[in-house]
Structure 1
């Protein structure tokens, strides 16, 4: 019996290939998102554009749990390769359809919906890979490095999408995104090979595996606490950043340029937080990450209360703690959840974003209408802080 050798992370070509190829794919995704939004705005009403941008979440939410069960039943890496191939097919067929029939609401909505369904198979499978690639003590560095690459990909992908759709149209954007999936598929096939075996689920059917996944969370208190906490985090922060910050900037008369600078401040701070996570090794990753989010909750409240300089400080607090805590909590999640149930647990966390986030956005907007921006931000921030403190207390029981 041979023991797998784990090279130092800084010289691990498999990990570097995974991070780099995932970043290329994320840049392509960001370009696709920008191109899709711009194209939808050209051919339909604002309501129709909203339908195009949101319709992919419905099939993704419906399929995510099954995607998690598939990831635990079959080899996650192979599932990712097949899902990438399916995404390439969707984009190439979509580009061909646009070339033949031109842009239309029906065509854009169909491509977005099918793309969301295929993505639901890829996402849970990708969550099973880090645990099989590196030593447990290197998971924080892997997560932090992935975050840094993701930030760079978003910064590069958004303007790239704008340039591509302006000069080549949506077809060019789709081909570029498909090419980015070719990059990650090739990396997965030939370079990114897991070092540890994947334990597989043993249920007689996918539905049985799903029931077993929920039963596992019922009996494992630590895993259950982390899943509940992670499922609620973005539902608190997302609406404040997507709705509250825009409303605060607009109501204060600061202008769209300042909104852009505020978002940039958060992005830079998140990169700094990820760098800190690479160096800081707390004894209890889960508790340290959760307690860091109390600072993030304070930043969320400050968005509704502080003058312009204070909002910049708030965005820096939110970004830095996001970069730090995300790396720590991602590693804690990988370490804590039984590998046999990792795909299913990961899919449940992602399901909250896909299924509940639209409701959270609408609810937060309604809360602002019924009260005010400061009151809405403070109320949600208090709930956010209560959630992470509850989880920090319970995570080691």
Structure 2
């Protein structure tokens, strides 16, 4: 059967114990995991700021962009293999090991920057190594929540994770900027490394459940490629996961281009400038944070499959409408709606992935979902920019909205997904 985490880490309360009814935000075990996740996420924000600043100091803007981009290549190429490793070793063990490795690497870079100026080659090498570690770390992060809490609390955990991600975005960049101002890139790298180091012991204190006995089809084989093929077959044959992953892929493909590249071009076209773009992003963040808070407090959402599809369809309409706003106030209001609807749909999709997947396959299934989100979807950035240059913002936003809507309609047309429920 698949390798599991340390036997010293006991299982979370069963569904029939009083602790199983405790909300996740009152569960000390979940809170330890959340603190570890938040520390790692803030460290990520500080690391990327430090890397970009150091690259700009040592090279041209184009070279700095290349340094930041190289990490995406190993992440995309190795993500599916990372899911196989997670299922073999257990998600907690993988997250602890990768956070420890990231801490040592970043602290080593900080020390080198204090002693010398190693140049862009070192920064590019660090970015590549981080991409390799991310390919394993991200599937492990997605596979860990079902091992620390009962199934009925997974929607709450997704809401709490969303709030932590928002906090990391808001807090991490300013802290990184302050560290750079006080001590240069070395200080920012050092602070990020300490946060990664803090995450590891917190995760070691998290109790995780052992996997149930796996059937023969789920047992790891000697060949990693065979494990991966088994995982892909499992997804293809699953009545809920197969359409759900298509929905995730189309939603991300239609969403990330307009909201990451198209928004800057829209603000420039309307004459709103960087401050206007900042207000729109703040509106999106507020809406997304509200969705995360709602799920964290409310917990289970009845008819989750139907709700996520309707939320995604409504969010697609809002994405198309954003390009036709003529004032910052209207654009901010639409951005709040996009954040709320997309945040709700995304969190419910993640919760459904975790509750519908056999635990023995969770690393591989999570890696496929993450591959779509962070491997393929970013490829739409240059396409979005080029399309806006040729046809303007309105047609591009409408096409992107249509891609999201296609994902929503496909999910709503799949009876098993439409009727999917989260556990009580």
TM over 0.5: yes
For structure 1, which segment, 193-202 or 376-385, has the greater mean C-alpha deviation from structure 2 after superposition? 193-202
**Which of 367, 371, 383 does residue 403 from structure 2 map onto?**
383
Alignment length (residue pairs):
395
2:209 is aligned with 1:195:
yes
2:305 aligns with: 286
Contact 1:231 1:350 in 2 (8 A): no
| Kept in 1: contact 2:252–2:404 (CA 8 A) | no
301-310 or 64-73, which deviates more: 301-310
Alignment of 1:70-109 (within 5 A): 70-109=85-124
**TM-score when normalising by structure 2:** 0.89
Residue 318 in structure 1 maps to residue 332 in structure 2? no
**Pair 1:360-2:380 in alignment:** yes
- 2:196 aligned with 1:178: no
| Aligned positions of 1:1-397 closer than 5 A | 4=14, 5=17, 6-7=19-20, 8=22, 9-190=24-205, 192-197=206-211, 201-277=219-295, 278-279=297-298, 281-308=300-327, 309-394=329-414, 396=416
Shift of 1:89: 2.0
Distance of 1:89 and 1:206 partners within structure 2:
28
Instruction: Supply the distance in 2 between the matched residues of 1:355 and 1:38 (Cα, whole angstroms).
Output: 24
User: Shift of residue 353 of structure 1?
Assistant: 3.2
Could you tell me which runs of 5 or more consecutive residues in structure 1 were left unpaired when the two chains were aligned.
Answer: none
1:273-299: per-residue Cα shift (whole Å, max 9, x none)?
A: 122223274332122112101121112
Q: Is the 8 A contact 2:253 2:403 kept in 1?
A: no
- Once the two structures are superposed, residues 108-162 of structure 1 have per-residue CA deviations (whole angstroms, 9 ceiling, x without a partner) of 1111111111121111112211111111111111110111122112111011111
The CA distance in 2 between the partners of 1:301 and 1:16, in whole Å, is: 38
Given that 2:45 and 2:169 are in contact with CA atoms closer than 8 Å, whether structure 1 keeps it comes out as yes
Is the Cα–Cα contact under 8 Å of residues 156 and 299 in structure 2 kept in the other structure?
no
Alpha-carbon distance in 1 for matches of 2:300, 2:91: 29
Q: Which residue does 2:420 correspond to in 1?
A: none
CA contact (8 A) 1:141 1:327 kept: no
Summarize deviations over 1:319-346 as a string: whole Å, max 9, x none. Answer: 1113322222211111112222111111
2:155–2:299: 8 Å Cα contact kept in structure 1?
no
* Deviations 1:81-113, CA, capped at 9 Å, x for gaps: 111121122212222332333152211111111
Shift of 1:196: 4.4
How large is the RMSD of aligned CA atoms in angstroms? Answer: 1.8
TM-score with structure 1 length normalisation? 0.94
Kept in 1: contact 2:312–2:341 (CA 8 A):
yes
